[in-house]
Amino acid sequence: MVAVAVVFAVAGCSAGEAPSAALPSGSAPPQSSSPPSNPPSTAATAPPPTAPPLPAAATQDTPAGAQSFARYWLSVLDYATTTGDTKLLRQVASCAGCDALADGIDTLRREGGRTTGGEITVRKATVASFAAGRAALVDVTYSRAARTVVTASGAQQAVAPERNTQLLITLRRSNSWLVTNAQPAT
């Protein structure tokens, strides 16, 4: 059920192993009297993701500012799903659906689960309605890569990718933008 609550997914990557060098045909492996040692790993460890910074444009009380903030909210959702850190997600949105997304992420992490894959890519964002100093409605088209929800027991649930999904994001303006609703466009 938690997998259903986490509607959107986020980026994840895995590093493959480097191919081993083959011995020339007819040669025997080198002999050693000491026990084999494990060579140090050559795979680079990726730094942990950092919270996306708020773009300067997303602070503006303009149609372009509303559009930028809607894109930013999706990047924050991506970050929260990847890391399990929902603090910023809860700060930039105040709606039942937004809370349900954050709660689903929190529950999955609290139970020892995680998600991999599922990077969100915004394809287009258009301001459908704008009232300076009050509100905006942004029509966003995004795609999400396939993802996997992994439970604490190691069970994995594949979640199909989404392509060109349309989402209507309602923003309220006071001193800054705040997501007050996000719903699929019909």
The pLDDT, as a whole number, for residue 186 is 77
Residue 153 has pLDDT above 80, yes or no: yes
Distances (CA, A) of 175 to 38, 74, 132, 171: 57, 20, 12, 12
Sheet holding 135-144, edge to edge: 120-131, 135-144, 162-173, 177-184
Residue 2 has pLDDT above 80, yes or no: no
In a domain, 114, yes or no: yes
In a domain, 41, yes or no: no
Residue 57: exposed, middle, or buried by beta-carbon count in 10 A (0-12, 13-18, 19+)?
middle
Residue 40 has pLDDT above 70, yes or no: no
3 state SS of 78: helix
H or E stretch covering 51: none
The CATH code of the domain that includes 173 is 3.10.450.50
In a domain, 44, yes or no: no
Between 36-45, 89-98, 120-129, the lowest mean confidence (pLDDT) is in 36-45
Mean pLDDT across 47-75: 96
pLDDT class for 158, splitting at 50, 70, 90?
Answer: very high
Distance in Å from the first CA to the final CA of the chain: 24
Mean pLDDT across 148-163: 96
- Sign of the alpha-carbon torsion through 72, 78, 108, 161: positive
pTM across the whole model? 0.76
In a domain, 18, yes or no: no
In a domain, 94, yes or no: yes
pLDDT class for 46, splitting at 50, 70, 90?
Answer: confident
